[in-house]
Structure 1
Amino acid sequence: MRHDWIADILAVIDTGSFVRAAELRNITQSAFKRRIDAIEAQLGGPLFDRRRKPVALLATARPLERSLRASLQAQSMLLQEAGEVATGSGAITLACQHAISATVSPGLVRALSEAGLEPVRIRSGNRDECLVMLLSGAADLVISHAVPGTGPEPGGFEECCIGQDRLMAVAHPELPRRADGRLPVVAYPADVFFGGLVARLWAELPEGVTLHRRAETALTLAAYRYALDGLAVAWLPEALIAEDLRQGRLCRVAEAGPDLALEVRMTRLAGAGRERARRGWGVIRDLGGAVSERLP
């Protein structure tokens, strides 16, 4: 249904009057009546009980109200986004790994907002999904973890390091071993970024340490909850769990191997790019140590 049709219908619902609805929609009463008549003709029947004061939807049409409001909101947001893309206005979209959405992104949103780049949209996904968003134009910048010493992603990307982190094995302080002596763990799928890193760590476990996969998830935040709930050892970024370590809700599991150093990197498409991507890149890059200060 057309955006203006929905707005007209909701104006009548909200005011209870065709006269006040016409004023709200800033058109003459006669023009507004013709629009309502045209909407009802297109739909094949009346929507409003005109005998009532205030005017209201017919009983058969009342279930539509919630859907109409949701549709108007969604269409309005889509029109706003389309306009921002067309005009190159200040709105910016960051694609962040799930854990980074919960740790680093609030500080980035604050900095970008202060620079006039509003609204700031955060899209979450695993690392590969974030890069696909960047390539497709659904995101302006990617904020993700990377292993120090590795180069930029192939395929025309440019990267810069904006912070430091660590991947570490943690668990609830009272997590018991299984009866067979194996350590219960939550794994990541092999095709996600942390899955490859954890598989590398598992290949170097201390002698005598054996693992039992209790669960597998691609979501770092889900693995975090499993660790907090005492289900398993989880390998998590320190930025996500720093307060839990300080409060004793989680503890490091030394026998599960050493920590792995991580960088927090910002990635963009090489070349000129859109104006908001260039501005956002500069704002975040110029934060300097401020991003690292938000990490342990």
Structure 2
Amino acid sequence: MDLRQLEYFVAVAETASFTRAAERVHITQSGVSAQIKALEHELGAQLFDRSARTARLTDAGEAALRHARATLDAAADMRDSIDDVFGLVRGRLTVGMVIGCEVAPLFDAFAAFHSEHPDIELELVEANSDQLVAGVRSGDLDLALAGLAGEPPEHLASHVIASERLVALVPADNELAGQARLSVTALLAYPIVCLPVGTGIRNVLDQARAALGVDLSVALAATSPDTVAGLARRGLGVAVLSESMAAGYPDLTAIPIDGIDIPALLALVWQNRSSPALAAFLRHCKAAF
């Protein structure tokens, strides 16, 4: 067996699909299937049950998965250790960021890193924060800039960029515009325009609602803060965003929300493992932010 076969095996196991695994590893589905069959032949056991719509691991596949992941991690650590010895930074770096947000310091870090290490292949992936954290955990992403609710995720390294409260945004002629502050229960009496499920801000709002045991009426959800503000501007609901996001819409009235003790965090998250490329990129990120 070789590392390529193990990589394809893990990809199929994690996506439960030969098609999606092929997309992840950038080869044809038939190529993935052929390599898995070769691995099964060498191991003398079927790794996947192919009778269903999804590729499900057999008992043998479940037993093999942990060792395959450990082998791939060990190979990556070995490459990183050799790079450390020779002072090399090479390969590929995949970075995730919150969808719909333009985060200039992250782009500055990209530019500085590329200038210093032009041979590193950079990839930027946009997704909701929950998906970004999952991508870092699985190893699909080397690092992500994600919105979080309250605390950085367990078992991952992190660097908090910002910790903010949520505010409500309404047009100047809205009946709430004269309020100095707004309670969560008062807010929930109105239709809300917010970011979608899986984002840090929405998670903060959902956790506050759950703690109070009340319903949340989200009239509209949008992936971009600009869209959220634009919908509120047209009277379609009360926008809920973070303080720094709200500062970008001076034509709307921002009202602090009382009763939400969980901060909305913006943080860099990554696996705490040796990687010269990641270490170099983190230096630029911390300088940029």
Q: Deviation string for 1:81-128 (max 9, x for gaps)?
A: xxxx99963653320112554455333334434443666432111112
1:224 to 218, 226, 229: 229
Cα 1:105–1:133 change in 2 (3 A) is: same
Q: Alpha-carbon deviation of 1:198?
A: 0.7
The normalised TM-score by structure 1 is 0.51
CA RMSD of aligned residues (A): 4.0
Q: Alpha-carbon deviation of 1:280?
A: 0.9
Q: Alpha-carbon deviation of 1:257?
A: 5.8
Cα 1:152–1:107 change in 2 (3 A) is: same
Does the CA contact (< 8 Å) of 1:169 and 1:256 recur in 2?
A: no
Q: Distance in 1 between matches of 2:225 and 2:265?
A: 16
Cα 1:174–1:234 change in 2 (3 A) is: same
- 1:186 pairs with 2:193: yes
Does the CA contact (< 8 Å) of 1:169 and 1:253 recur in 2?
A: yes
Q: Distance in 2 between matches of 1:257 and 1:282?
A: 37
The one-letter code of the counterpart of 1:184 is P
Question: Helix, strand or coil: the match of 2:248?
Answer: helix
Report the counterpart of residue 145 of structure 1 in structure 2: 147
Report the counterpart of residue 270 of structure 1 in structure 2: 272
Question: Helix, strand or coil: the match of 2:247?
Answer: helix
Deviates more, 1:255-264 or 1:136-145: 255-264
Matches within 5 A, 1:77-156: 89=90, 92-98=93-99, 100-102=101-103, 104-116=105-117, 120-147=122-149, 150-154=151-155
Unpaired stretches in structure 1, ≥5 consecutive residues: 1-77, 80-84, 292-296
Cα 1:162–1:193 change in 2 (3 A) is: closer
Question: Helix, strand or coil: the match of 1:280?
Answer: helix
Report the counterpart of residue 219 of structure 2 in structure 1: 214
Deviates more, 1:249-258 or 1:233-242: 249-258
Q: Distance in 2 between matches of 1:107 and 1:227?
A: 31
Cα 1:91–1:100 change in 2 (3 A) is: farther
Report the counterpart of residue 172 of structure 1 in structure 2: 171
Q: Alpha-carbon deviation of 1:141?
A: 0.7
2:239 to 216, 234, 240: 234
Q: Distance in 1 between matches of 2:104 and 2:164?
A: 11
The normalised TM-score by structure 2 is 0.52
Question: Helix, strand or coil: the match of 1:271?
Answer: coil
The one-letter code of the counterpart of 1:169 is A
Q: Distance in 2 between matches of 1:226 and 1:96?
A: 24
Cα 1:251–1:107 change in 2 (3 A) is: farther
Percent of aligned positions with the same letter in both sequences?
Answer: 17
Q: Alpha-carbon deviation of 1:211?
A: 7.3
Q: Distance in 2 between matches of 1:111 and 1:164?
A: 25
Unpaired stretches in structure 2, ≥5 consecutive residues: 1-25, 28-75, 80-87, 177-187
Q: Distance in 1 between matches of 2:257 and 2:152?
A: 31
Does the CA contact (< 8 Å) of 2:143 and 2:268 recur in 1?
A: yes
